[in-house]
Chain A
Amino acid sequence: MAPHGNPEAPASAASEINREAPKVAATTNESTTTKPASGPAVTSHGATEETPWSLWEVFVRSSRGLSHVHAGSLHAPDAAMALRNARDLYTRRNEGVSIWVVPAEAISSSDPDSKGSFFESPQGKDYRHATYYTKSEGVKHL
Chain B
Amino acid sequence: MTNTNDTDFAIDGHGDISVGVHGAGASGDGSASATRITPGNALRPEDIALEIQRGQVKPTEDVAEFALRIGDDGLILAQRLGYWISRAPELEEDIALGNIALDQLGHARSFLTYAGAAWGKSEDDLAYFRREHEFRSAHLFEQPNGDFAATIARQFIVSFYQYQLYTQLMESTDATIAAISAKAVKEVDYHRDHSAQWVLRLAGGTDESRARIIQGFKLVWPYVEELFEDDELTTRLAAAGVTVQPSSLRTEFDRLTGDIMAEAELEIPGVPQSLGGGRRGKHSEFLGYILAEMQVLAREHPGASW
Contact surface of A with B, Cβ cutoff 8 Å: 1-4, 6-7, 10-12, 14-15, 17-19, 21, 23-26, 53, 62-66, 74-77, 80-81, 84-85, 87-89, 92-95
Contacts and interface: CB of A to CB of B under 8 A. Distances in A.
A19 B37 contact: no
5 contacts: A12-B193, A14-B160, A14-B260, A75-B91, A80-B197
Contacts of A6: 186-187, 189-190
Given A23-B201, A63-B35, A94-B40, A88 B96 contact: yes
Contacts of B93: 85
Interface of B: 28-30, 32-35, 37-40, 42, 90-93, 95-96, 99, 160, 163, 167, 185-187, 189-190, 192-194, 196-197, 200-207, 209, 256, 259-260, 263
Interface of chain B, helix or strand or loop or mixed? helix
Nearest to B102: A92
Contacts of B95: 85, 88-89, 92
Nearest to B200: A23
B196 A14 contact: yes
Given A93-B37, A94-B40, A11 B92 contact: no
A93 B39 contact: yes
Contacts, number: 110
A25 B189 CA distance: 26
Contacts of B92: 74-76, 85, 88-89
Q: What secondary structure prevails in chain A residues at the interface with B?
A: loop
Q: Taking each of A18, A24, A66, which has the highest tally of chain B beta carbons within 10 Å of its own beta carbon?
A: A24
A94 B302 CA distance: 34
Interface centre among A76, A87, A88, by most chain B C-beta atoms within 10 angstroms, is A88
Contacts of B90: 53, 75
B194 A23 contact: no
A14 B256 contact: yes
Contact of A1 (B29, B256, B259, B260): B29
Contacts of A7: 186
Contacts of B37: 62, 93-95
